Chains A and B, each alone.
Chain A
Amino acid sequence: MKHGRWRFLVGALVPALVLHVVFVLSPYAQAFYLSLTDWTGVAGEAHFVGAGNYARLGGDSLFLDAVRNNAVMLVVVPLVTIGIGLFLASMMHLGGRGGRRGIAGSGAYQIVYFFPQLLSLVVIAVLWGFVYNPNTGLLNGALRGLGLDGLTRSWLASPSLALIAVMAVLIWSSVGFYVVLFSAAIDSIPRELFEAALLDGAGRWATFRRVTLPLVRDSVQVAFVYLGIAALDAFAVVQVMTVGPGGPDGATEVIGLSLYRNAFQYGKFGYASAMGVALFFATLTLAVLALRSGRKERLELA
């Protein structure tokens, strides 16, 4: 029995571990080393340049555009998505009597809202590329149909609008997921709390602010982390949808795109790795900050 046990364990663990080390762990580890070299893909031609790549990042105006755009996305995308998600989720519940009975049909609404979450961001980007098309697109077509011809734009070609257009797509694709998430969180709040609020004469807004919001804070925190990580990526949408891509004039450049371009178009593999490391630390910082504030809030609730 003892013998068979070890043989089974080795057989169960080793194939997956080999795969994991070769394709996941070793690339992650190598990236940190590569970021300190000037490697351009020619074997044996990597020179150690220390922090040189990182110093160059500070002077790379396109990379700085990318950092700025990612920072804007990091704030706007989670705020708006969570705002709309919380609004719709609490509407579903507050619309009914007694504070938390859902309104009729909210199950069907949730099914529709959720669908974009399942689509590949590439499919979504191709779709929205059509929607934003200046001549044949749904958006300008709708504006013309409403007699608002003056509001039609070439959405993705205008430097002041392109980033907003990209963020709108990210928000559109993820709101449904958070409606479902927040809705489930609201469902788990004890009914008595809503009934008590109703008896105390609390209106909808007061109920939302005093009862619902404090009790779904954990879910909101999770949402910030997930949406923040998504906002630090945004690669597929930008790469497929925008002019250039990343344009016009760097208006929609993101770190992922800079990395991809430097590595696989210019062959600057060391430099691109430095961008990857920068992105890693941004993600790490985000996660640590969110987890820390999460711990504090749980104490407040207890």
Chain B
Amino acid sequence: MTLLRERPVVSPSPASPAPRSRSYAAFPVHLAMLAWAVVTALPLLWAVVSSFKTDNEILNDPWSLPASPQGSNWVRAWTEANIGRYFLNSILVVGGALLLTMLLGSLVAYALARYEFRGNRVIYYTFVAAMFFPVFLALVPLFFVVQQLGLLGTYQGLILVYAAYAVPFTVFFLHSFFRTLPSEVAEAAFIDGCSHGAVFFRVMLPMARPGLVAVGIFNFLGLWNQYLLPLVLNPDPDRYVLAQGLAALSVSQGYRSDWGGLFAGLTIAMLPVLVAYVAFQRHIRAGMTAGAVK
């Protein structure tokens, strides 16, 4: 729980009386920190740089910089290698699943957190227990369930399954959030004649916005990075999501080589996550580590 607190990130200690000895002592520390930063960042930067190189440059010298940046790699990846199509499929599926997850998840979390009724705990644990089961266990029957519903290889099928597997975490996360909200505002709204549904949508949901944003970010990242479910449930290459398409592309790379295009595709796949991270990095790190400790 303590992890939820904003960490006082590193001011270069102003009141320190012996700065010289400190800087000596800190040198090997900086070296170690820098070393891991290089190990982390180098492969990522390398992929971005390589996405601007010609195949010849990639094949002959992995360390060189591009002589003239090849924007054509990106164009080729987006159009010919279908990365653009996979990207749009991902947006469609993840967008739909995210909306559905947030709507259903917040409704369930709110109903369970703010209403007393028989079976409340049972329903809560039914959802939460599912978070701890390995998806592999469900994989085979899930394939046939989706097939029998005629949803195999459809956007709708993928959206419903994504949402079904993302709702438990959402309920778990928002349940405690709705509990902490004050009840006075809701009571006032009831007295003013609001229905239960109106209280939820017009009073409680806006009040819960910080929680919704946090869980929305995690859900976006989780759904965007989904691979196992589409691999099994989405066999139609026209409807591949990004991770799936990229994996298929890198495997077929053994047969027809377009290294620059593949690096460009890889970079395109990393971009939305990077953008989300830069925009929300404090929330993401604080929330994810808090989620790990609960």
Q: Please give the residue numbers on chain A whose beta carbons come within 8 Å of chain B beta carbons, in ascending order.
A: 1, 4-5, 7-9, 11-13, 15-17, 19-20, 22-28, 30-31, 34, 41, 84, 87-88, 91-92, 94-98, 101-107, 109-123, 125-131, 135-138, 140-142, 145, 172, 175-177, 180-181, 183-185, 187-188, 218-219, 222-223, 226, 229, 232-233, 235-236, 239-240, 255-256, 259-260, 263-264, 269, 272-273, 275-277, 279-280, 283, 287
A94 near B37 with CB under 8 A, answer no
With A9-B117, A141-B63 already in contact, the answer to whether A94 and B40 are too (CB < 8 A) is: no
B29 near A103 with CB under 8 A, answer yes
Cα–Cα distance between A11 and B104 once the two chains are bound (Å): 10
Partner of B293, one of A98, A129, A219, A276: A219
Least CB distance, A130 to chain B, in whole angstroms: 7
A23 near B161 with CB under 8 A, answer yes
Cα–Cα distance between A137 and B61 once the two chains are bound (Å): 9
Cα–Cα distance between A270 and B277 once the two chains are bound (Å): 42
A-chain residues with CB within 8 Å of residue B30 when the two chains form the complex: 95, 103, 105
A26 near B141 with CB under 8 A, answer yes
A-chain residues with CB within 8 Å of residue B99 when the two chains form the complex: none
| 10 cross-chain pairs, A with B, having the tightest CB-CB distances, nearest first | A141-B62, A120-B225, A8-B196, A95-B29, A23-B164, A30-B141, A27-B138, A27-B141, A107-B9, A188-B2
A-chain residues with CB within 8 Å of residue B161 when the two chains form the complex: 23
Cα–Cα distance between A159 and B58 once the two chains are bound (Å): 27
A27 near B145 with CB under 8 A, answer yes
A-chain residues with CB within 8 Å of residue B138 when the two chains form the complex: 24, 27-28, 31, 276
Stretch of B66-74, B77-85, B126-134, B180-188 contacting A (4+ beta carbons < 8 Å)? B126-134
A-chain residues with CB within 8 Å of residue B112 when the two chains form the complex: 13
Cα–Cα distance between A125 and B244 once the two chains are bound (Å): 12
A102 near B59 with CB under 8 A, answer no
B195 in contact (CB, < 8 A)? yes
Least CB distance, A93 to chain B, in whole angstroms: 10
B259 near A264 with CB under 8 A, answer no
Interface string of B32-75 (1 = CB under 8 A from A): 11001101111110110010000000110111000000000000
A4 near B292 with CB under 8 A, answer no
B292 near A222 with CB under 8 A, answer yes
- Nearest to B2 among chain A residues (CB) is A188
Cα–Cα distance between A120 and B251 once the two chains are bound (Å): 17
A259 near B136 with CB under 8 A, answer yes
B-chain residues with CB within 8 Å of residue A26 when the two chains form the complex: 141, 145
Other than the given A16-B105, A34-B140, A177-B289, 18 more pairs (CB < 8 A) read: A8-B195, A13-B111, A24-B130, A26-B141, A31-B138, A31-B141, A87-B32, A91-B29, A103-B29, A104-B26, A120-B224, A120-B273, A187-B7, A255-B136, A272-B139, A275-B136, A276-B140, A283-B133
Least CB distance, B51 to chain A, in whole angstroms: 11
B134 near A185 with CB under 8 A, answer no
B167 in contact (CB, < 8 A)? yes
A94 near B141 with CB under 8 A, answer no
Least CB distance, A217 to chain B, in whole angstroms: 12
Q: In terms of DSSP, what is the predominant structure of the interface of chain B?
A: helix
Interface residues of B in 70-119 (CB under 8 A from A): 104-105, 107-108, 110-112, 115, 117
Least CB distance, A288 to chain B, in whole angstroms: 11
Q: How large is the interface on B (under 10, 10 to 19, 20 to 34, 35 or more residues)?
A: 35 or more
- Nearest to A169 among chain B residues (CB) is B43
Cβ contacts A to B, 8 pairs, < 8 Å: A7-B196, A105-B33, A123-B243, A126-B247, A177-B288, A263-B143, A273-B140, A276-B139
Least CB distance, A43 to chain B, in whole angstroms: 9
B285 in contact (CB, < 8 A)? yes
B270 near A16 with CB under 8 A, answer no
B-chain residues with CB within 8 Å of residue A102 when the two chains form the complex: 9-10
Cα–Cα distance between A287 and B26 once the two chains are bound (Å): 39
Cα–Cα distance between A176 and B37 once the two chains are bound (Å): 9
A138 near B277 with CB under 8 A, answer no
A-chain residues with CB within 8 Å of residue B16 when the two chains form the complex: 97-98, 101
Cα–Cα distance between A26 and B141 once the two chains are bound (Å): 8
B-chain residues with CB within 8 Å of residue A92 when the two chains form the complex: 10, 29, 33
- Nearest to B276 among chain A residues (CB) is A118
A-chain residues with CB within 8 Å of residue B200 when the two chains form the complex: 8, 12
- Nearest to A187 among chain B residues (CB) is B7
B173 in contact (CB, < 8 A)? no
Cα–Cα distance between A3 and B84 once the two chains are bound (Å): 50
A-chain residues with CB within 8 Å of residue B9 when the two chains form the complex: 102, 106-107, 110
A-chain residues with CB within 8 Å of residue B132 when the two chains form the complex: 283, 287
Partner of A11, one of B130, B137, B165, B197: B197
B5 near A188 with CB under 8 A, answer yes
A172 near B139 with CB under 8 A, answer no
